[in-house]
Amino acid sequence: MRDGGLLLEFLLVSPLLLVSLVLHELAHGWVAHVLGDPTAKAHGRLTLNPVDHLDTWGTVMLVVTFLGSGGAFFFGWAKPVPVDPRYFRDGQRGMALVGAAGPLTNYLLAVAAAGLIWLVHTRSLFLLEMCWMLFVLNVILGTLNLIPIPPLDGSRVVGGFLPRTAYRRWAELDRYGNFVFLGLFMLMLLVPGFYQATFGRVLRLFTLLLPGGWFG
């Protein structure tokens, strides 16, 4: 499949990416709901329906970067789940838990994909490739979202450990979210080796979960 057409690869990757993004956002909403915030449920976001989670520009960016890079990398985002920290007993720590839930879900999906790879790697090349793509997608999504820059999930986790006065200023940086996404995209596009030096390193660490040899 790695030697196949790029369009075919994209068609195969798309449903895996949808599942990964939907479960990521659903995890945010579910944790917020458990902590007492009804906002995600009220907005219909506690659902597995991908249409309710997709962001128009984030989806366009995914398509453009994947096809434009020849499948070498992708960059995009889903529609953020609405969360109101005023419902939490401790809004700052509650947001940290909500933020951590998305990337943790992606990493758990990557571990599950690694387990499937162990089951199928000697049986079916097609299933092996599909599980490998699911593995890679979720390692990258989890790592991307853990970058500690507002409005990414990692900033919520970091915010949980900041003094309250500093946290308010930190949260205000969310307004520059579009510039953050643009800056990360430009780095991956213009700086040779940035992708491999960052996401690639994390991915190589996760490959320790896989049977040796086939992916190298």
| Most confident region among 112-126, 161-175, 176-190 by mean pLDDT | 112-126
Catalytic annotation, pick one of 9, 25, 129, 172:
25
pLDDT at 18: 87
pLDDT at 214: 53
Enter the pTM of the model. Answer: 0.87
- Whether 25 is catalytic is yes
pLDDT at 189: 72
Each residue's pLDDT tens digit, 186-214: 777 788 788 778 888 899 899 999 987 55
Each residue's pLDDT tens digit, 114-163: 999 999 988 888 899 899 989 999 998 999 899 888 888 999 999 999 99
pLDDT at 72: 67
Measure the N-to-C terminal CA separation of the chain; round to a whole number of Å: 16
For residue 3, pLDDT beyond 50: no
| Residue 191 contacts residue 165 (beta carbons within 8 Å) | no
Number of Cβ within 10 Å of residue 85's Cβ equals: 18
- Distances from the Cα of 67 to the Cαs of 60, 74, 111, 183, 196, in angstroms? 11, 8, 27, 20, 18
Each residue's pLDDT tens digit, 44-101: 999 998 888 888 888 887 787 777 777 666 767 788 899 999 999 998 999 999 999 9
